Structure 1
Amino acid sequence: MKKLVTLAMASILVFVLAACTATNETSSEKTGTGKGKEEKILHLKNNTEPTSFDPPIGFDAVSWDPLNNIMEGLTRLSKNHEPEAAMAEKWEVSEDGKTYTFHIRDSAKWSNGDDVTANDFVYAWKRMLDPDTGSSAAFLGYFIEGGEAFNTGKGKADDVQIKAVDTKTFEATLISPQEYFLSVIANPAFFPINEKVAKENPKWFAEADSFVGNGPFKLAEWAHDDHILMEKNDTYWDEKNVKLDKVHWAIIDDTNTQSQMFQKGDLDASDVPADLSEKLFKEGKVLVEDQAGEYFYRFNVNKEPFQNVNIRKAFAMAVDQKQLVDFVTKRQEKPAYGFVSYGFKDPSGKDFRETNGDLIKTDAEQAKALLKKGMEEEGYKELPQVTLTYSTDDIHKKIAEALQQMFKKNLDVDVKLANMEANAFATEQKALKFQLSRSSFLADYADPINFLENFQKGHSMNRTGWSNAKYDQLIKEAKNEANEEKRFEKMYEAEKILFNEMPIIPIHFYNHVQLQNENVSSIVRHPVGYMELKWADKK
Structure 2
Amino acid sequence: MHRFIRILARGLAFAVLLGGFSSTAQAETVFNKGNGADPTTFDPQQMAVFAEAVVAVDLFEGLMTYGANGNAVPGAAESWAVSDDGLTYSFRLRADGKWSDGTPVIAADFVFGWQRLVDPKTSSPYAANLDAVVNARDIRTGARRPADLGVRAIDAHIIEVTLAAPTPYFVASLAHHATSAVSRANVDRFGADAFKPGHLVSNGAYSLAEAMPRDHVKLTRNPYFHDAASIRIDTVMLYPTVDTEAELRRFRTGRLDMTYDLPGQEIQALQEAIPDQIHVTPYRGTYYYAYNLTHEPWRSSPELRQALSLAIDRDMLVRNATRSHELPAYTFVPPGTLDFPGWQPDAARLTQAQRDAKARELFARAGYGPDKPLKLELIYNVSENHERIARVIAEMWKKKLGVVVDFRTEEWGPFQATLDGRRFSDIARNGWLGDYDDAYNFLQLEPGGSGPLNATGYANPKYRALMARAARETDPATRGRLMQQAERIMIDDMPLIPIYRYMSRHAVSPAVKGWVDNVQDVHLTRWLSIER
Same fold (TM over 0.5): yes
Give the 3 Å change call, closer, same or farther, for CA 70–185 of structure 1 in structure 2. Answer: same
Q: CA deviation at 1:526?
A: 4.6
Partner of 1:314: 307
For residues 380 and 454 of structure 1, what CA distance do their matches in structure 2 show?
36
When the two structures are superposed, what TM-score results if normalisation uses the length of structure 1? 0.89
Partner of residue 128 from structure 1, selected from 117, 122, 131: 117
Unaligned runs of 5+ in 1: 1-32
Q: CA deviation at 1:63?
A: 0.7
Q: Does the CA-based 8 Å contact 2:280-2:324 persist in structure 1?
A: no
Partner of 2:80: 91
For residues 287 and 201 of structure 1, what CA distance do their matches in structure 2 show?
41
Partner of residue 388 from structure 2, selected from 395, 398, 414: 398
Q: Does the CA-based 8 Å contact 1:139-1:459 persist in structure 2?
A: no
For residues 171 and 87 of structure 1, what CA distance do their matches in structure 2 show?
14
Q: CA deviation at 1:171?
A: 0.9
Partner of 1:282: 272
Partner of 1:454: 445
Taking the TM superposition and a 5 Å limit, the aligned residue runs for 1:157-236 are 157-236=146-225
Return the letter of the residue paired with 1:251: P
Partner of 1:53: 42
For residues 241 and 279 of structure 2, what CA distance do their matches in structure 1 show?
20
For residues 44 and 500 of structure 2, what CA distance do their matches in structure 1 show?
28
Q: CA deviation at 1:529?
A: 6.7
Give the 3 Å change call, closer, same or farther, for CA 367–125 of structure 1 in structure 2. Answer: same
The alignment's C-alpha RMSD in Å is: 2.0
Q: CA deviation at 1:345?
A: 3.9
Partner of 2:423: 433
For residues 402 and 185 of structure 1, what CA distance do their matches in structure 2 show?
39
Return the letter of the residue paired with 1:393: S
Return the letter of the residue paired with 2:71: E
Q: CA deviation at 1:204?
A: 3.8
Taking the TM superposition and a 5 Å limit, the aligned residue runs for 1:374-413 are 374-375=366-367, 382-413=372-403
Partner of 1:19: none
Q: CA deviation at 1:437?
A: 0.7
Q: Does the CA-based 8 Å contact 1:525-1:532 persist in structure 2?
A: no
Partner of 2:323: 330
For residues 533 and 36 of structure 1, what CA distance do their matches in structure 2 show?
20
For residues 170 and 505 of structure 1, what CA distance do their matches in structure 2 show?
41
Partner of 2:508: 516
For residues 201 and 77 of structure 2, what CA distance do their matches in structure 1 show?
19
Q: CA deviation at 1:430?
A: 1.8
1:365 aligns with 2:365: no
Q: Once structures 1 and 2 are overlaid, which stretch shifts more, 522-531 or 310-319?
A: 522-531
Q: Deviations over 1:35-63 (max 9, x none)?
A: 65122211101111112110111022121
For residues 217 and 369 of structure 1, what CA distance do their matches in structure 2 show?
56
Q: CA deviation at 1:510?
A: 1.1
Q: Once structures 1 and 2 are overlaid, which stretch shifts more, 525-534 or 302-311?
A: 525-534
Q: Once structures 1 and 2 are overlaid, which stretch shifts more, 357-366 or 304-313?
A: 357-366
Partner of 2:488: 496
Q: CA deviation at 1:264?
A: 0.1
For residues 484 and 477 of structure 1, what CA distance do their matches in structure 2 show?
12
Residue 526 of structure 2 aligns to a residue whose secondary structure is: coil
1:237 aligns with 2:226: yes
For residues 524 and 243 of structure 1, what CA distance do their matches in structure 2 show?
17
Partner of 2:463: 471
1:141 aligns with 2:133: no
Residue 531 of structure 1 aligns to a residue whose secondary structure is: coil
Residue 59 of structure 1 aligns to a residue whose secondary structure is: coil
Q: CA deviation at 1:456?
A: 1.1
For residues 130 and 34 of structure 1, what CA distance do their matches in structure 2 show?
44
1:152 aligns with 2:173: no
Matched residue pairs, number?
500
Partner of residue 340 from structure 1, selected from 322, 333, 353: 333
Q: Deviations over 1:331-367 (max 9, x none)?
A: 1111111111123243xxxx744x4466556422211
Q: Deviations over 1:62-119 (max 9, x none)?
A: 2111111011111112234332221111111111111111111110000001100001
Q: Does the CA-based 8 Å contact 1:129-1:138 persist in structure 2?
A: yes
For residues 57 and 347 of structure 2, what CA distance do their matches in structure 1 show?
35
Q: CA deviation at 1:192?
A: 0.4
